[in-house]
Structure 1
């Protein structure tokens, strides 16, 4: 997942200092690359102290990295000689496939079985797999929810958030009146569209037919997802020719005439900063699903931990990954940083925070973008965005979907 400013090495002094204890010269150093803002300094201090107390032969050297330019830094580290790079690396969940190529990551399949991978969030676990082998170990997640105005819902006679997509449409129609947008949904919010496509059983691209990856926006399931997006988007005035960042939808919501947006819960902070009067009026609920039994599918962003094959501290690196992604520290991190834990069974750990609880409910149905190293090139060209705009402005969906799918296929094959 690309996040924040999505390398200059910057050792975290407070954390590194935890290894300076009597007998430190006898310890083996495990170098860990973590990304800026993924964990608080206090969390890392507490983790390091406990880990080094329990592993008296190891010392942690945690180094904080910037998201900008991290891809090239990781590639260089994976290609370095043995012992010349980090032993554990935090990577975006959707970036794992590009690092697996060339046998550069340690196969952690056997370890993952002991670590309970059947309980992991699918949107974190699936991108970390290749040919049934597990290379990326889920750490934490974040995903979109519906941020809504409780007062506007009450005014419209809506006593509870909708739980099905059809009920969502009905509620949004009631909200879309009196100068209020029922929902602000930009025309090119393709991550939200992806969730509707997955909900229908479709995908953005597939390799299931054995002929390599190809775009599948023209499948019946994907077309149904686009049709729902079209119906929902029409219940507001979101610009059909731009995405959710142009203009930033938090700013539009803060103006006070929007009942709902689809965004990560953290967007609520930006809204309240611009309009403090909305602080007690904002609520959250999971993106509704096709039925009331499960929330809708959502794109799951977040991080996995990987171990380079060129590590000289294999056992130490595996121990660090096991500890950080284990239930105790993963729960601690989720509560500290308002993340979704990596396991479905840990959702109750964040039940006390409305926005995070809504994220956790949706994350159980989470997905990630197609697990191919070439998907980044698709996003750079991104034929999905103009496809969406054309459909929303009246073009034939099937025709435009075929064109966009061919473009996706061409990009994937040209780099394959």
Structure 2
């Protein structure tokens, strides 16, 4: 009798396991540092949803787009995939992502910060759930500020640029190293309240005198030696290296970079204070945002939406933010005392400043067809201005024509 009961129990357990639906979950470059965290969150999902099992694959950031295209083509698409805003825009344009409004658990999409959802909303449908980001702050070396005769950190973009010149003139150190690679000027335009596209989205409009003036401001600083060449070639990497060596007045950053500074040069870290990111006329700060999306090729769309919203709910986002020194995109987690109370030291100060700056944070990725080609045209144009002395207005006119030819189709 006992053997019969044990056999029946084993058969019952085997049947239950056989009935489980496996969901494939892709993240970007989280192993090995955050393996325990993600595996723990997956176990929590499986416990709360015993009808599902999750197979986790971590993909290198630079490889995810090609791997996802290949997986979709071969009929083996993941159910949930981690993408950034630019990638979401591209896959949406290809019709490769499933809108989430109709398949997400009831009320789940209301937990995210409205500004966070903006980056992934197309035609009033949400195509990815926001995950983590790091609102920008300004870390500054208090000793360099004292030597430059600066009594307080900058509060506006104009004050930031003026402080950078003063620091270089008075101390010989660079004041700051803006990241001018890739599409940064598109974001700087919007931070200064200047549009990139017309209101109907059918024309590029970033060749006005005001747009020219923004680039001219940074070009003048570059030509006069206030900005190093690395601002265009290495961006944040160059800035973090200089700041960590005690040779940079201000670092526009998030807490994750301050951890590196603390590890590389404790003396420079101990001199560091943190203030809010100075806003331009647009009163918005570009804040790159990660997300989880459900490919249209997923065979388990509703279950995938359940997994995506579970992994990005208040509890999971707060856990992730604490482990990675990033900031959550859900309202509840963003209000946690971990962020709102701050504490001693630059890293704690930066969390408080991120919390104060979250109202101005927005991923300013620009949605256009043929995004890769148009983005490359813009990046090539900026490099030609800085490295080949091309005229700013003529270059922007050329790039706008290229964009408008694609937008008109």
On whether the aligned pair clears a TM of 0.5, the verdict is: yes
Q: Which moved more, 1:178-187 or 1:134-143?
A: 178-187
1:26 matched to 2:19? The reply is: yes
Q: Where does 1:5-404 land on structure 2 (aligned, <5 Å)?
A: 23-37=16-30, 40-81=34-75, 84-110=76-102, 111=104, 114-117=107-110, 119-120=112-113, 122=115, 124-181=116-173, 183-185=175-177, 188-189=180-181, 191-204=183-196, 206=197, 208-209=199-200, 212=202, 214-230=203-219, 236-239=226-229, 242-245=232-235, 248-290=238-280, 296-343=283-330, 346-349=333-336, 350-351=339-340, 352=342, 353-363=348-358, 364-381=360-377, 382-386=379-383, 388-389=385-386, 397-404=392-399
Shift of 1:390: 7.0
Q: 1:237 to 1:141 in 2, by over 3 A?
A: closer
Contact 2:157 2:278 in 1 (8 A): yes
- Runs of 4+ in structure 1 over 6 Å off: none
Shift of 1:21: 10
Q: Which moved more, 1:250-259 or 1:382-391?
A: 382-391
Provide the alpha-carbon RMSD of the alignment: 3.5
Superposed CA offset, 1:148-167 (max 9, x none): 21222244454543222233
Shift of 1:41: 1.7
Question: Which stretches in structure 1 are left out of the alignment for 5+ residues?
Answer: 1-19
Residue 16 of structure 1: aligned partner = none
Distance 1:164 1:180 in 2: 23
Distance 2:267 2:245 in 1: 11
Distance 1:273 1:285 in 2: 21
Contact 1:141 1:341 in 2 (8 A): yes
Question: Which stretches in structure 2 are left out of the alignment for 5+ residues?
Answer: 1-12, 343-347
Q: Which moved more, 1:399-408 or 1:365-374?
A: 399-408
Contact 1:265 1:284 in 2 (8 A): no
Q: What TM-score does the superposition give when structure 2 sets the normalisation length?
A: 0.79
Q: 1:223 to 1:278 in 2, by over 3 A?
A: same
Q: 1:104 to 1:413 in 2, by over 3 A?
A: same
Q: What TM-score does the superposition give when structure 1 sets the normalisation length?
A: 0.78
Query: What count of residue pairs does the alignment treat as equivalent?
Result: 384
Superposed CA offset, 1:212-268 (max 9, x none): 3x4332135433533554576668242288333498232233443321233444333
